Amino acid sequence: MSNRKYLVFHTLVILLLLIIIADNLFSQGMFMDGSIYATISKNLSNNIGTFWYPHFTETIAPQFHGHPPLALGLQSIFFNIFGDSIFVERFYGLGIHMLVLLCIVAIWKEIGNDKSTSWVPILLWFSIYAVRWAVSNNVLENTMMLFVCLSIVFYLKSQKKHRYFFIILSGLVLSAGVLSKGLTCLYCWVFPFWIGVFKNDLKFKDIVRDTIVLVSVTILPILLLYLLSSEAADSLTKYVEIQIINSLNNEITVDSRFHIIKSFIVAIREPIIVFVSLLLFVRLFVSKIHFSRKQIRKSLPFLVVSFFGVFPIMISLKQSYIYIITVYPIFSIGLASMMEPSFLKMMEYVNTKKKLFNGILLASTCALILAIFQINKNFGAINSDINIVKDVQEIIKVVPVNSTISISPNLYNQWPLHGYFARYANISLDADIQKVHSYFLTQDDIVLNNISKKYDELELSLENYRLFRLKPK
């Protein structure tokens, strides 16, 4: 198949994906955790905090140890290059996903599938809502997902040449995954076993040897950091205490340990629907569908490993569909591989139908125009937490950057409020009523009698909050 015809399918899919994410890609408003991570990365780029002791605000996590710092450090490089624009984290998320897309193509080729059909796993991957959502919401799993995919690319390369060189690379990038978001990427340790199980020419001793090297090289850099750097040891110890031990013992976000299984099943319904739709097209217009034993052997290691990425989350009752975002590229590759020859026949059929092929070219052109229109229409618009973002933007016109605002205690747990103030203007919020700052923010009318003696209300166009300024002495 010619490169021209090969590129048409990929171009159309990528443009369709761009249309899907365009509404939120460069808009304002973000998932609470994402705004916190962006703030920490921005601070790090401005020499506020250090790599092992990142800084959120003066009042909330002045030393942030909720997660390992590598993803935050990598994102801070983007802030160093592109400045403090609120769109920097969006470019970072988009860039990470484009790199994952390239990894999917690389994995697809490494397992012997035709490169012209690599648009199929890409389409299945991006049909998953959680993946599309993650692009513009700056979750740490984005960076971990890239390292997971790179680990698989390198391991597959090790089966063809320079065996231990590529296994070492596979372990190193997996170690980087741990330092980006924690232990939830270690399910990749089972990949050599399942590749070996479904690959006829791989001996058991080779599987064991590969696994030992992969596990050792993953652990060794973290162990060396712990032993050779007191800051790294302190930071990682606090992370384990705050995130892992506390999550296992205290934090509960779901009612059942099987909640994550339900989340996974709900998420993969979309790629399965797309997959079945493509097969129906093949069956109706191209040829009968044949399940090849060779393709099943290619597919099953990826499908099985993706399930291994879900099951360990059941250990804790602190669960979220975000935690398993890294398994979706793997699942999509496995699902698409099952019927790869059928998709190749479908593309050859389309290429023989001039009107149909020209229709795809026209659809690609329309998709590009629509994507540009959507991005331009929503550039800078507020698409989530609208009232909070508007109020914060109004308040920071009055309150100086890098200052602290007193807040009524009932606002303390409004984490998006903390995130937006810190992200837009490095403003900290202090719920300690014993401390007096130049400004006071509240939603609670009950506190008005107490603060009216010290503060005057400012006449601002606020939707949710009321801002007061300290009376002059």
The model's pLDDT over 298-335, given as tens digits with 9 standing for 90+, comes to: 999 999 999 999 999 998 888 898 999 999 999 999 99
Identify the bridge partners of residue 470 per DSSP, sorted by sequence position: 455
pTM, entire model: 0.93
For 10, 417, 440, 450, the CA distances from 434, given in Å and listed in that order, are 60, 21, 12, 12
Task: Report the amino acid identity of residue 469.
Answer: R
Residues 6+ apart with CB under 8 A from 113: 298, 337, 340
Q: What is the mean pLDDT of residues 288-297?
A: 85
Using CA atoms of 226, 230, 231, 233 in order, give the dihedral in degrees to the nearest 10. Answer: 30
Percent of the chain with pLDDT over 70: 99
pLDDT digits (tens, 9 = 90+) for 5-26: 567 778 778 887 877 787 788 8
CB neighbourhood size of 343 (10 A) = 26
Question: In this predicted structure, what is the pLDDT of residue 235?
Answer: 97
DSSP of 292-360: -HHHHHHHHHHHHHHHHTTGGGGGSS---GGGGGGGHHHHHHHHHHTTHHHHHHHHHHHHH-HHHHHHH
Q: How far apart are the first and last CA of the chain?
A: 80
pLDDT digits (tens, 9 = 90+) for 180-236: 999 999 999 999 999 998 887 778 898 999 999 999 999 999 999 999 999 999 999
Q: Provide Rg for the chain, Cα atoms.
A: 25
CA distance 219 to 209: 16
Best CA proximity match to 35, nearest among 122, 176, 138, 147? 138
pLDDT digits (tens, 9 = 90+) for 142-161: 999 999 999 999 999 999 98
Q: Give the 3-state secondary structure of residue 447.
A: helix
Question: In this predicted structure, what is the pLDDT of residue 322?
Answer: 92
Q: What is the mean pLDDT of residues 407-412?
A: 92
For residue 4, pLDDT over 60 is answered with no
Identify the bridge partners of residue 430 per DSSP, sorted by sequence position: 406
Residues 6+ apart with CB under 8 A from 387: 463, 464
Q: What is the mean pLDDT of residues 431-459?
A: 87
Question: In this predicted structure, what is the pLDDT of residue 11?
Answer: 79
SS (H, E, C) the chain: CCHHHHHHHHHHHHHHHHHHHHHHHCCECCCHHHHHHHHHHHHHHCCCECCCCECCCCCCCCCCCCCCCHHHHHHHHHHHHHCCCCCHHHHHHHHHHHHHHHHHHHHHHHCCCCHHHCHHHHHHHHCCHHHHHHHCCCCCHHHHHHHHHHHHHHHHHHCCCCHHHHHHHHHHHHHHHHHHHCHHHHHHHHHHHHHHHCCCCCCHHHHHHHHHHHHHHHHHHHHHHHHHCHHHHHHHHHHHHHHHHHHHHCCCCCCCCCHHHHHHHHHHHHHHHHHHHHHHHHHHHHCCCCCCHHHHHHHHHHHHHHHHCCHHHHHCCCCCHHHHHHHHHHHHHHHHHCCHHHHHHHHHHHHHCHHHHHHHHHHHHHHHHHHHHHHHHHCCCECCCHHHHHHHHHHCCCCCCCCEEEECHHHCCCHHHHHHHHHHHCCEEECCCCCCCCEEEECCHHHHHHHCCCEEECCCCCCCCEEEEECCC
Angle at 428 between CA 426 and CA 431, to 5 degrees: 170
Alpha carbon 12 to its chain's center: 23
CA distance 294 to 447: 71
